[in-house]
Structure 1
């Protein structure tokens, strides 16, 4: 019985392209998830294993990065049009190129600091005992990014250390912060909404306003600022995965004059460093079993 090859396509899915525009001290960010696919006469690749007409998916990925610099990202539509046209030029066997782009929007909180649009997820855990109540307020999935003013150097090394030192990097995280109120068992006049809004504003301000020599330093600065701003809080716990952004290496691209001067990055979500810390007010009443219901860092 004869069989024939039906419709087929191939490409590179979900290339995380982050473009930082550094034309001035006030940076801009375009954060993209790019998928490309080519359709056409690729029967030889499927039936005979002949790759002569196949543009590698790795090349498609590299082109997505390069065009973020060469074409720019004024809009995801114009970027996708330019990228698709380039892929057709590079792969004569393709009859069509499909480029799908998702853009993650960010709101500015400083000249080079941003929070993912939509903010985080508000959380609350209340533990009520007989004669005692604990209230934990918080936020999770608060995605933050500084495009500069972050370094990481002078760290301990051994024979397995390959991480290079850097004095200028992207610092990004998806923050989980939880803070414990004091006197919650007796107070009835707490404006919980105002307290939450002020707490998030304080955390954002500290993140944007702290020159970071490590994510640990940033976390302590955020917790310290929150306790300073709200005397009724006893402690704050912070958990921050380090969302790594790696500078894309353009040195292997055969394009004259194409350099990557801290402008195009690949965002990765695993593995990641997980930095966690607790900042506690001196003399604060004990938490009791307030934290037992809170998963994760304790």
Structure 2
């Protein structure tokens, strides 16, 4: 099934919001919704050490025991995943999705999503996974790897769902952010939602021209569009604007517009993701 909203769920506290945001996006886009759960069957790194360090008993017997435990652990993980997928499907139906799909795969999340990339129109994923530390400044390592490897829009969501009413586009005139403006202008996802376009930098003619283009593109598409150029540090300026205007969804390019561009995830994007309490739509 191509052109679908795909929601990656696990046992984290973000999964309920992932379900709700994915259902919202699926209905708005008129696109099918599929929930994905990936069972990571990687062996425990300590097991090899254990098998080599026990002096009593048979090493072969211990390896058999460890293999048996791995098999039991994998079966339990699969069963837990099926229960989560069933619960997600039921929640999506309550949200108005007629036939949500479910998929369970063995392997690693990043590799699985890369294999399914051609089927994905929008990926919805939580800010952190179930194995991540719960500190608010922490960004899940899986998420960073997904953003680096996937060439699809990614909606990174917080712990609770709130239907977006005001969207902020972090705009720097780059190809990625111009494409983002055009995508929002043509997408049914944001219909009826006020769109704010903010550029951080000096008030120069070229930047004003770029911003005017963005606002006209959105206005011509029927959006209530607001724009501003602000001086200052990028992350702080965007965060301040977001708070002043009660923005509940942030749109950013996943590429940095700096010398660290080759790292794929720009420093500003990563910092905004770490501290965001609202969903962030990352564009590639």
**TM-score, normalization by structure 2:** 0.24
- Larger RCO, structure (CA 8 Å, separation 6 or more): 2
* Greater per-residue strand proportion: 1
TM-score, structure 1 as length reference? 0.23
Q: Higher helix fraction: Structure 1 or Structure 2?
A: 2
